Amino acid sequence: MSRIVGAVHVIATDGPAGPGGATMTAVTSVTDAPPTVLVCLNRSGRLNAILRANGVFSVNTLVAGDEALAGVFAGVGGLDHPERFTHGQWTHGATGAPLLEGARATLDCRISECVDVGSHTVFFGVVEAVALGEARPALVYVDRGYRVIPNAE
């Protein structure tokens, strides 16, 4: 799996179970009618339960220069979920999910379905709002490291 290139996102949620977030590459579009994405989370992780209880999440696509933020939300430094949101600038979307200011793109989603597959849960989110940031070079993860993809000419 380390050879598969993945865009780097912070998945963020807030609601009755409190704030939570993690850095992820296991994010993809599912359908455009209705616009739906999926994220895959390990069932043993704390964020899985938080996401289920809150029922909403955002997908925040990171850009070059966001490597430190990606590390924080990947658990580097050992911050608990609420403390992770002291890094970066966050607002809340229509669903109540946290939205990262300066993200390349932000999707504000409401969970429509959860499916357990092996060790993970696949969360399907219907996109309720989209915010497009500046088209800065994208941050990706491959070969166990962050890389930057320059913008197309």
Q: pLDDT tens across 29-42, in order?
A: 999 999 999 999 99
Q: Which domains does the chain have, with CATH numbers?
A: 6-149 (2.30.110.10)
Asked whether the whole model's pTM tops 0.85, one would answer yes
Among 56-70, 73-87, 136-150, the least confident range: 136-150
Residue holding tokens 């939570």? 20
Helix (H) or strand (E) holding 142: strand 138-142
Q: 6 pLDDT exceeds 90?
A: no
Alpha-carbon gap, residue 121 to 137, rounded angstroms: 30
Amino acid 21: pLDDT: 98
* Torsion over CA: 125, 127, 129, 132 (sign): positive
Amino acid 25: pLDDT: 94
